[in-house]
Structure 1
Amino acid sequence: MSALHVAVVGGGVSGLVAAHRMRCLLGPTARITVLEQTSRLGGKLRTDEVGGLACDVGAEAFLHRRPEAAELVAELGLADRLVHPTGVPATIRAGGEVRPVPAHTVLGVPASVEAVRQVLSAEGLRRVAAEPALPPVELAGADVAVGALLRERFGPEVGDRLVGPLLGGVYAGRPDALGLRATMPQLAAALDSGVGSLLAAAATAMPAPPQPHGRRPPVFGTLAGGLSALVQRLAEAASAEVRLGLPVRGLVRREHGWRLEVGSATAPAHLDVDGVVLAVPAPAARKLLADAVPAASRALAGVEVASMAVVALALPPGTALPDRSGVLLAEGERYADGTPFTAKAFTFSSRKWAHLAGGPVLVRGSVGRHGEIESLRRDDEDLVASVRADLAELTGVTAVPVDVAVTRWGGGLPQYGVGHLDLVRRVEDAVSGVPGLAVAGATLHGVGVPACIATGDAAAARVAAHVLGRVPRPG
């Protein structure tokens, strides 16, 4: 009797977690095949050498307050590499000035007037202070665009100067196109509970202060040596057959299991398996599900994606950077002479992470928001020149890099629009009615590493339960 055979389509962190977890659930005799159409595993987790240092050129950290990533790091024996930011503050360039990112906000939504006193104008502060006196916010179970709600309650400045840059950093999106329930669920929950003021809802959602003489737990973590170590260890633990450079073109349900059409369109091959996890971006998942689960495919058509690029600069040792971890740029910010900025954010990596201090000085520039095409059409040389000019305008740093790396993420970030949670519910409900199939990835319940890990775990558990319950096992 043949061993169980399952496939994972997509070799990013969600897919690799699914493969690893199915290995745990199905045992050593199961055959697990990971199909990845690019030439490398990891998806948005990618570590390159820049200036002789390991530099993450995709996701650079994970939210440590969520348990999934930290627990997986420990499970895979990587806890000794876990590091946290130095605590140097981050800043925002808005209204022509660079200011610290204020504390006591929820992704920029203020929990008090004092929290944003250094960022907003007198008129902006007046609007924030007056917000609790407005008629209560009543969502009545509906979703709403973040930008529209902010303007209605606070006027334009909170969205333009705070929430826009912060959401742009997470989603490469704009507040007017992002839904409250998917991007700020804690605020939506507070409003649903009857808190009628957005200011009060943010205060309710703030984490509890640390105990006297206690320390607040770290918010973010990463791995010294780069997050690709997590990718490598997952691949080793999964002990899967990895097939790179192999697109999956079709998915067909059979009487017992699934058939995948893989390879070139002119000479496709077929792979028959007992179960499948789809861990690919929304556009690819939509195509693969068009015939197998048309309701899920139709829902996924509503997910838009954004592209971006990361420009990593290794500056000469000793280059002086500002004493901060980086700077986010509000949309529409310009040079003193009126030239628009190309970058949307800079991370001063050698300031943010102690393990990168010494030697070449690493800086990451991020380019690209949803719907922004022109900047990303530039060739690498032009993009590097523009990002260096932005850095000089913001910081005065003009040092010539000893090394550069440009990494482009085409369609890499799903946009969590208004009604995204309902859309995801339709996808998952449709797939749940189809045996031996599950979906995972950043499209579903969060774009961060912990959320992707959670979807990979859940997808693996679903497929493993099906194949163990249906397929007789040898011995």
Structure 2
Amino acid sequence: MRRVIVIGGGISGLAAAWSLRGRAEATVLEADDRIGGKLRTGTLAGVPVDEGAESLMALRPEAVDLAQAVGLGADLRDPAPGPVTLWSRGALRALPPGHVMGVPPDPSALEGTGLLSEPGLARLRQEETLPAPPLEARDVSVAEYLTGRLGREAVDRLVEPLLGGVYAGEVDRLSLRSALGPVAALAGPGGSLLAALRDRPARPARAVVRGVTGGTGRLAAAVARASGARIETGVRVTALRRAGGAWRVATASSGVLTADAVVLAVPAHAAARLLAGLAPEAAEALGGVRHADTAVVSLAFPPGTEAGLPPGNGFLVPAVEGRAVKAATYLSRKWAWPAGGPCVVRASLGRAGATLPRSDAELTALALADLRAAAGPLPAPLATRVTRWPAGLPQYDTGHATRMARARAALTDLPPLTLCGAAHQGVGIAACIASAYTATR
């Protein structure tokens, strides 16, 4: 049976090992002292709290299917129903349903919401009267294309906060095709984008995301167990080389390991370092991927606090508001567990191109100030935790798909060595799992 070394024990690497079961002897090497990557569940005031990803995309199958396959099907939960809410112009405002990443099919649904000014709404109404040739072949940014269709205010106030919640990115740099694929597909043939949104087939009513009771960290642990792979933590890979028809994987603590094939399931910048001597062109392409530093501030409030929170499960914040917080989630309300315990609220901070405060105390103070400004008076928290994710989110800037294709093409002359992770098919859990399946296939 072939021996495969998977470098990286996040959900991408674990899913790669799981997909290899029965076909190869897989060994997963993780530099950290724990597996799971950004699937990390800690405890705050006695409550399990996700410090990284806190839900699984349910509109595509990979994450939910894998959770069911590894025995967590009964623990999957739909979130409490609630609208997408934006904190804009000093108030929490619900985004009308039917939008695609903030792009509304019917501008009239925005009337009276305060999400757009009257000039901004008038500009959006013009969309169906504007000339709309087919989307050109060159990759364009979200802002470059959508500003011409919807107006800049709609881009900044409707589209950007949803993209910011996913990528922490800048609409002037994010690729339309890579970051807003469904919108790009509708825009491709030309014609009115809003009309295309209205004409698309209706989707079955179902939750967009699902959670795991007890936290998403349970998914990483369950996949690791079900994979049957040998998993080693605290092992940092320092070099890769090919010798004698096999891969030699040098580590800082476990010597040199041998394998027939290697899966690099690490961030793009880490893959670039390992490939610098083997495949310089691939390393250059991967090293060109920008990353955003992000942080999560989790706060536990006294039981019952959730009753005084505004409606919904949280809110997103447009970057033009100039706030520190880009998103907040009322975890206790959204997932309804555990009942009767502290009220846990989570704030996400960090955007591409911005520097986070160095002090955890300053981050916590910024988060609490924004939460109180948006959601109203909140008592002093019982406990807080700051989780930082340096270079945590790859940026799908214009040209990203070409850059990743160039990296993969540069590896074709090497014996089996493949790439997967958040930089390849999307940053969400489901997309990372899909990239792992592609790599091992």
Alignment check: 8 A CA contact 2:236 2:251 kept: yes
1:261 and 2:243 are equivalent in the alignment: no
Match of 1:286 among 269, 272, 292: 272
Q: Counterparts of 2:365 and 2:294 in 1: how far apart (Å)?
A: 17
Aligned residue for 2:7? 9
1:73 and 2:76 are equivalent in the alignment: no
1:28-427 map, 5 Å: 30=25, 32-117=26-111, 118=113, 119-192=115-188, 194-204=189-199, 208=202, 210=204, 216-263=205-252, 269-319=255-305, 320-333=308-321, 341-373=323-355, 376-427=356-407
Per the alignment, in what secondary structure is the counterpart of residue 177 of structure 1?
coil
CA 278–140 in structure 1, closer or farther in 2 if over 3 Å, else same: same
Distance apart, 1:399 and its partner CA: 0.8
Alignment check: 8 A CA contact 1:247 1:262 kept: yes
1:428 and 2:416 are equivalent in the alignment: no
Per the alignment, in what secondary structure is the counterpart of residue 99 of structure 1?
strand
1:212-257 Cα distance to aligned partner (Å, 9 max, x none): xxxx122110110111111111111223232222221211122412
1:253-301 Cα distance to aligned partner (Å, 9 max, x none): 224121112117xxx8322211100000010111111222222222212
Q: Counterparts of 1:297 and 1:209 in 2: how far apart (Å)?
A: 40
Alignment check: 8 A CA contact 1:187 1:201 kept: no
Alignment check: 8 A CA contact 2:134 2:190 kept: no
* Equivalent position amino acid for 2:20 in 1: M
* Equivalent position amino acid for 2:247 in 1: W
Q: Counterparts of 1:241 and 1:384 in 2: how far apart (Å)?
A: 39
1:62-84 Cα distance to aligned partner (Å, 9 max, x none): 11110111111111111010001
For structure 1, the 5+ residue unaligned runs are: 211-215, 334-339, 462-475
TM, length-normalised to structure 2:
0.95
* Equivalent position amino acid for 1:208 in 2: A
Distance apart, 1:198 and its partner CA: 2.8
Alignment check: 8 A CA contact 2:83 2:96 kept: no
Q: Counterparts of 2:287 and 2:178 in 1: how far apart (Å)?
A: 17
Q: Counterparts of 1:233 and 1:145 in 2: how far apart (Å)?
A: 38
Q: Counterparts of 1:325 and 1:90 in 2: how far apart (Å)?
A: 8
* Equivalent position amino acid for 1:368 in 2: G
Q: Counterparts of 1:410 and 1:306 in 2: how far apart (Å)?
A: 7
Alignment check: 8 A CA contact 1:250 1:288 kept: yes
1:455 and 2:435 are equivalent in the alignment: yes
1:441 and 2:421 are equivalent in the alignment: yes
Per the alignment, in what secondary structure is the counterpart of residue 6 of structure 1?
strand
Alignment check: 8 A CA contact 1:314 1:362 kept: yes
Q: Counterparts of 1:442 and 1:236 in 2: how far apart (Å)?
A: 22
Q: Counterparts of 1:432 and 1:199 in 2: how far apart (Å)?
A: 41
Distance apart, 1:164 and its partner CA: 1.0
Distance apart, 1:126 and its partner CA: 0.9
Aligned residue for 1:472? none
Runs of 4 or more, structure 1, over 4 Å off, are: none
Distance apart, 1:175 and its partner CA: 0.7
For structure 2, the 5+ residue unaligned runs are: none
CA 413–87 in structure 1, closer or farther in 2 if over 3 Å, else same: same
1:367-414 Cα distance to aligned partner (Å, 9 max, x none): 1000110xx233111211221111111122321111111100000101
Q: Counterparts of 1:77 and 1:432 in 2: how far apart (Å)?
A: 36
Q: Counterparts of 1:144 and 1:389 in 2: how far apart (Å)?
A: 37
Q: Counterparts of 1:387 and 1:310 in 2: how far apart (Å)?
A: 9
1:167-213 Cα distance to aligned partner (Å, 9 max, x none): 00000111111010001112222222x232232343355x5055xxx
1:18 and 2:12 are equivalent in the alignment: no
1:345-366 Cα distance to aligned partner (Å, 9 max, x none): 1101112112344210010000
Q: Counterparts of 1:241 and 1:73 in 2: how far apart (Å)?
A: 20
CA 4–429 in structure 1, closer or farther in 2 if over 3 Å, else same: same
Aligned residue for 1:337? none
1:14-61 Cα distance to aligned partner (Å, 9 max, x none): 0001111212323xxx3x221111111001101001111111110000
* Amino-acid identity (%): 44
* Equivalent position amino acid for 2:326 in 1: K
CA 143–408 in structure 1, closer or farther in 2 if over 3 Å, else same: same
CA 362–208 in structure 1, closer or farther in 2 if over 3 Å, else same: same
- Size of the aligned set, in residue pairs, is 437
Q: Counterparts of 1:270 and 1:327 in 2: how far apart (Å)?
A: 48
Q: Counterparts of 1:112 and 1:255 in 2: how far apart (Å)?
A: 63
Per the alignment, in what secondary structure is the counterpart of residue 198 of structure 2?
helix
- Which range moved further: 140-149 or 174-183? 140-149
Q: Counterparts of 1:460 and 1:311 in 2: how far apart (Å)?
A: 35
Q: Counterparts of 2:60 and 2:397 in 1: how far apart (Å)?
A: 23
* Equivalent position amino acid for 1:11 in 2: G
